Structure 1
Amino acid sequence: MKKLVPAFILIVFFGCFHKQIISSFNSVKSIRLQSDLAFISSHSVPSKQIVLTSNTQPFTTIQQRNTEASLNDLLFFPLPFLQQDANPIIIPLRIGALDSQANNKAAQLLDNRITPVSGLEKELTNPASLLLQYNLYEKAITVVKNKQTLLPFRNLDTLTFASLTIGEPKGNTFQNYLSKYTSFQHFAVAGKEISEKESETLLSTLGNYKVVIIGLHNVNSSALQAYGISQASRTLIERLRTKTDVVLAVFGSPYSLKYFDRVENLVCAYDNNSITQKIVPQILFGAIPASGKLPVTVTAGLKAGDGVNTVSLKRLGYSIPEQVGLHSATLRRIDDMVDNYIQDGVMPGAQVLVAKNGKVVFEKAYGHLTYEEKTPVTTHTIYDLASVTKVAATLQAVMSLDAQGKLDINQKASYYLPELKNTNKEDMFIRDLLLHQAGLLAFQDHWTKTKTESGLDSSYYSTKSGPDHPVMVAPGLYGIASLKDSLWQWTLQSRLLKKPSPHKKYTFRYSDIGFDILQQVVERLAEQPLDTYLNQTFYQPLGLDELTFNPLHTFDVNNIAPTEMDNRFRGVLVRGTVHDQEAALMGGVAGHAGLFGTANDLAVLMQMNLQNGFYGGKQYLSDQIVPLFTKTQQPNNKRGLGWDKLQPGENVSTLISANAFGHTGFTGTCVWVDPDEDLIYIFLSNRVYPTVNNTKLARYKVREKIQSVVYSAMGAPDGYVAGLEK
């Protein structure tokens, strides 16, 4: 058995990697983190306690080092620091014990592997070093106090959230990542001082929220300067905690916690950087568990070794590709591909998201909302999802009702909808509607019945909203109250496909109409509209405030990607109302179309399905439902129940597994979930802007090629992807 040597490693980081700071230390040497430190970490014996502490003063003399460091300590920081005034941030890391091989490697660091500071930024920001930093910070960040196990947050639909950053502007990384989990109202005090008027306004406003999360960012290492925390900030936090539940995250020295020992929900992040600001929200919402412990004693009530272990609720986390076995170099090919497609007029902009092993590791926005390039796409841009509605809305409701025993997919639809009896749809089974083999037409053009030769029929429409015209078809165009009933009657009267033989069953024929019938079944059983049922059952509890029907009710139109200039029907550029004409006549809520959203919110919903109905500590669907609905049902029909599957000619990479499931949308969207690889891929665009005649997205196989890059990222790290050169 190898002899194990206890180690307390001091890793040197610079508090900031700005070029001007690095250039001021050109003569200073530093260790090479990329290979040597990663080597040591990989050879360490796992420890139950991994802690990082920032803003600790370095030893200033060799004598002090020899006096204060035990013989078993391995001190890794460049010797030139001992003779200079440079004051780096040193992060002590207790990783357990090193075997002899790693110990020998460590001993060579100071003598043989010294790198000039001019190359330090590259060393500390390459994938291997970033991976090490993510892993260390995840283990180090400490939940110091957790009143009544408030953390991680559960039951999001019962809470209202606000956040306050002190020391940084509004919209920093911390607040952006909080917003990925649920709806937030964000506030900020950018400077160190808070006026009395500003303090009173914040107290009055923030006191109305059930939970206020405070990020304290202006923390330094000087005890004489109260660690940079103003008295006004401390007073505001103390007063606010008496009004509502406050969670305080301190991004700095643990010694500063002495000012907040009365705060009942307290987190120490030890350092203020983009990584810690991403990780803390994940701990608060249960994407990752907290296991860090305080490395120092702060007060009698905050002692070294204190720290509350929290659990994972299996919410989506956020990290870098290397943490889940993907290669950043390969995924970066997506950037050039999408940019080239935009330049070629395939679509004006797009969102691309990749999640693996429960972590979003690639989420980017490209291009603009239109080709005029006035408004850039962001990760919060709302897209019309088109037929992705079928699986992200209607199918979720169907699976939920089936899991509750209220719906039997082997029953006829007419059992739930008596008006189908004595029609040509009387004998249609729910299962056949889900499999698109009920003999229905692909789609309906009933909107043409509301037009005359001279334009829209005034008996159906008005330019003003009111009790007689409550259905918004487009801004400035409103339908009569009975319009949806008329559509349903026209659906009941619609013809079917001709059977190849009277005694044979219908074969697969993709149809929107089947999901409109399923919508009627859902609403009849749930006794409420489809969108209301989905909001109460899924979207609100999951924290999905950017997944919605009729987004104009809650979002600024400038944040919604436009679709088509509809010259055939509405006579306007469609933006914020559903692109599909039939869905528009139904008030924007249809079983086959109408849902809008972002890649992030779709990823949360798909992750819940990937986890067989479990998410955020709650079982939304029984664990047998998703596997049942996502498997291929029949030899002659490669689809699942409502879900699309891998089959020749479909808009999907051939690299996905046979168990993968997903769906595409007419506006230029897709979602794919691969349980074999624990992988989610989402692509959103508005390729139909300004006309549906733009078919380049399908002709160039854009969605499929990007998906192939994602799968190739699990292979060689050189960024080469075969078959995409053409």
Structure 2
Amino acid sequence: MNALTDAVARLTTTVPPDAPPSARPPAGAALAVRAPGFDGAAAAGLRALPSNEAPDGLPMNTDTHHDLASVTKVAATTTALMRLVSTGDAGLDTPVRHYVPRFTGGAKDDVTVRDLLLHRGGLWEWWPLYVAATGRDDALRRAAELPLRYAPRTGRHYSDLGFMLLGQVVEAAAGTDLSGAVAALVTGPLGMTGTRYGHPAGAEVATSSPGDGVEITMLDTGTPHPVPHRSADFRGWRRGPVTGRPNDGNAHHALGGVSGHAGLFAPPADLITLAAALADHTRHEDLWDPRTAEEFFAPGPDAGQSLGFRRYELRVGPERLPLLGHPGFTGCAVGFVPGRGIALALATNRLLTPGAPVPTDALWAEARAVAGRVAHDSARPQR
């Protein structure tokens, strides 16, 4: 445990080598790791910066709840689809329009569930639906009717909109709203009682950012996506600390906190429970068909991508193991090694620190390195 505790403390005090030199470490961090012979979690730093109410700030703990941001894509949507495909209630090669009738016309007609999971459906990467949408249904309609940006299956273009559509696929296949479907298919069966859409299930929650400044900048600069809007087109910006509500603008401002791409809150303990179940997928035939799970885990046509899951390398001593998972913009990530009992969950509030935040990918690389060392050391014979 000392190695894990020290590593988490370093995440909050030093800049990882993969990060830009000007980056600032996150205010707080928590890391949970499971491997054969090891099960531990540690936290360091602050979940909220100093304020009049808390002059010293509030400490980050291992049971602090976090806005998972895009980790929602695997913790909710992808895992729910694994279950629905296992039972035959959804099909990977079924056209999306079968579940979302408004997603139709031209090249859209042939885009499948598999294409969206691989980020090969040709959709725009991001679009500020909240600028013009009048509510959740209108926002989802706009997401479905937005013209494609690329020809389908010509390349991987990571897309939030694709997972908004996949959330609707889950709803149609499960016959209930997305929050209820995820609870019935994923979080309920796994006992993830601290995981909830839209707002945290516990009182202790990490502040994710000082406000909506990131998306304001995205609109005003047209970077990284050239959308035809500016920040002045929207009047609902949050200009104070974002605590207990989704950081993602579309999830919060347009979709009521519930979407296939973002909106989920959870503590590290729940994330590690999910990752451990996926790591030992053959022991959970009551949840999914192992063959279906393995199809989701298999490499896709693009490097670093499986069905819904991102692919990474985990170094455990001399071994180079495939680790599947997903990062989130707020500084969270989850990962697992199928068949090896190795799981890890990272939770930080990287956007809260003044200045340029450390990229999630750099924090995630450090977390993977720690997990690899822990897994290797725990597997060595004890003298």
TM category (shorter chain) comes to 0.7 to 0.9
Give secondary structure in 2 for the equivalent of 1:367.
strand
Shift of 1:533: 1.3
Change (3 A) 1:399 1:511: same
TM-superposed CA distance for 1:666, in Å, is 0.4
| Structure-2 residue corresponding to 1:629 | 296
CA distance in 1, matches of 2:326, 2:42: 20
Cα–Cα, structure 1 residues 332 and 417, in superposed 2: closer, same or farther, change >3 Å?
closer
Q: Tell me if 1:543 matches 2:191.
A: yes
Name the structure 2 match of 1:387: 70
Contact kept, 8 Å, 1:687 with 1:694, in 2: the verdict is no
Question: 1:640 corresponds to which residue?
Answer: 306
Q: Which amino acid aligns with 1:555?
A: G
**Larger CA Rg, structure 1 vs 2:** 1
> In the aligned structure 2, how far is the partner of 1:332 from the partner of 1:381?
16
Alignment of 1:284-433 (within 5 A): 330-331=3-4, 333-341=6-14, 345-357=24-36, 361-372=39-50, 373-422=56-105, 424-433=107-116
For residues 424 and 445 of structure 1, what CA distance do their matches in structure 2 show?
A: 23
TM-score (norm 2): 0.81
Q: 1:715 & 1:492 partners in 2: Cα distance?
A: 46
In structure 1, distance between residues paired with 2:150 and 2:291? 36
- How far apart in 2 are the matches of 1:432 and 1:394? 14
Q: Which secondary structure does the structure 1 equivalent of 2:82 belong to? A: helix
**Contact kept in structure 2, 1:613 and 1:620, CA below 8 Å:** no
Distance 1:360 1:515, change over 3 A: farther
Q: Is the 8 A contact 1:347 1:697 kept in 2?
A: no
- Residue 622 of structure 1 aligns with an amino acid whose one-letter code is D
Q: Quote how far apart the aligned CAs of 1:698 are.
A: 4.7
- How many Å separate the matches in 2 of 1:329 and 1:526? 44
Question: What is the CA distance between 1:367 and its match in structure 2?
Answer: 0.9
Task: Report if aligned partners of 1:384, 1:594 keep a CA contact under 8 Å in 2.
Answer: yes
1:582 partner SS: helix
What is the CA distance between 1:662 and its match in structure 2? 0.8
Residues 93 and 113 of structure 2 are in contact (CA less than 8 Å); yes or no, is this contact kept in structure 1?
yes
For 1:696, what is the secondary structure of its paired residue?
coil
Mapped pair 1:570 → 2:230: no
Pairing of 1:28-39 with structure 2 (within 5 A): none
1:552-584 CA-partner distances (Å, limit 9, x unpaired): 5x433xx11112222542334221111101111
Separation (CA, whole Å) in 2 of partners of 1:538 and 1:613: 16
Q: Pairwise CA RMSD of aligned residues?
A: 2.7
Q: Evaluate the alpha carbon distance shift between residue 713 and residue 544 of structure 1 in structure 2; reply closer, same or farther with a 3 A threshold.
A: closer
Q: Distance in 2 between matches of 1:484 and 1:666?
A: 22
How far did residue 687 of structure 1 move?
Answer: 0.7
Q: Contact 1:334 / 1:709 at 8 angstroms: preserved in 2?
A: yes
Q: Deviations over 1:213-272 (max 9, x none)?
A: xxxxxxxxxxxxxxxxxxxxxxxxxxxxxxxxxxxxxxxxxxxxxxxxxxxxxxxxxxxx
Contact 1:563 1:667 in 2 (8 A): yes
Deviation at 1:361, TM superposition (A): 2.2
Calculate percent identity across the aligned residue pairs.
25
310, 331, 349: which one pairs with 1:686?
A: 349
TM-score (norm 1): 0.44
The structure-2 alpha-carbon separation of the partners of 1:524 and 1:338, relative to structure 1 and needing over 3 Å to count, comes to: same
- Report the CA distance between 1:690 and its aligned residue: 5.6
CA displacement at 1:329 relative to structure 2: 5.9
Give the Å deviation of 1:422: 2.7
Other-structure match for 1:555: 202
Greater RCO, CA 8 A, separation 6+: 2
1:528 aligns with 2:201: no
Residue 350 of structure 1 deviates from its aligned partner by 1.1
Q: Deviations over 1:18-71 (max 9, x none)?
A: xxxxxxxxxxxxxxxxxxxxxxxxxxxxxxxxxxxxxxxxxxxxxxxxxxxxxx
SS at match of 2:62: coil
Cα distance, 1:369 vs. partner? 1.2
* Pair 1:674-2:321 in alignment: no
Q: Which residue of 2 aligns with 1:487?
A: 139
Residue of 246, 249, 266 corresponding to 1:581: 249
Per-residue CA deviation, residues 112-151 of structure 1 (Å, 9 max, x unaligned), is xxxxxxxxxxxxxxxxxxxxxxxxxxxxxxxxxxxxxxxx
Separation (CA, whole Å) in 2 of partners of 1:356 and 1:511? 32
Looking at structure 2, the residues matched to 542 and 532 of structure 1 have their Cα atoms a distance apart, in angstroms, of: 14
Cα distance between partner residues in 2 of 1:335 and 1:591: 30
CA distance in 1, matches of 2:46, 2:65: 12
| CA deviation vs aligned residue, 1:623-666 (integer Å, no higher than 9, x gap) | 222211011032x444110010127xxxx879884532111000
Counterpart code for 2:212: D
Which residue of 1 is the match for residue 373 of structure 2? 712
Distance 1:422 1:709 in 2: 48
Contact kept in structure 1, 2:8 and 2:29, CA below 8 Å? no
Quick one: structure 1 residues 429 and 638, their matched pair in 2 at CA, closer, same or farther if it must change by over 3 Å? same
1:519 and 2:167 equivalent?
Answer: yes
Q: Conserved in 2, the CA contact under 8 Å of 1:423 and 1:492?
A: no
SS state at 2:110 partner: coil
Give yes or no for the alignment of 1:664 onto 2:331. no
Cross-structure match for 1:508: 156
Distance in 1 (alpha carbons) for counterparts of 2:168 and 2:30: 32
- Amino acid across the alignment from 2:172: R
**Residue 449 of structure 1: aligned partner:** 132
Q: Show the counterpart of 2:270.
A: 601
User: Is there any run of 5+ residues in structure 2 with no aligned partner, and where?
Assistant: 16-22, 51-55, 217-236, 379-383
Which of the residues 102, 121, 146 maps onto 1:438? Answer: 121
Instruction: Give the one of 603, 620, 623 matched to 2:287.
Output: 620
Shift in Å, 1:489: 2.0
* Count, aligned residues: 342
Q: Taking structure 1 as reference, are residues 707 and 392 closer, same or farther at Cα in structure 2, changes over 3 Å only?
A: same
Amino acid corresponding to residue 187 of structure 2 in structure 1: Y
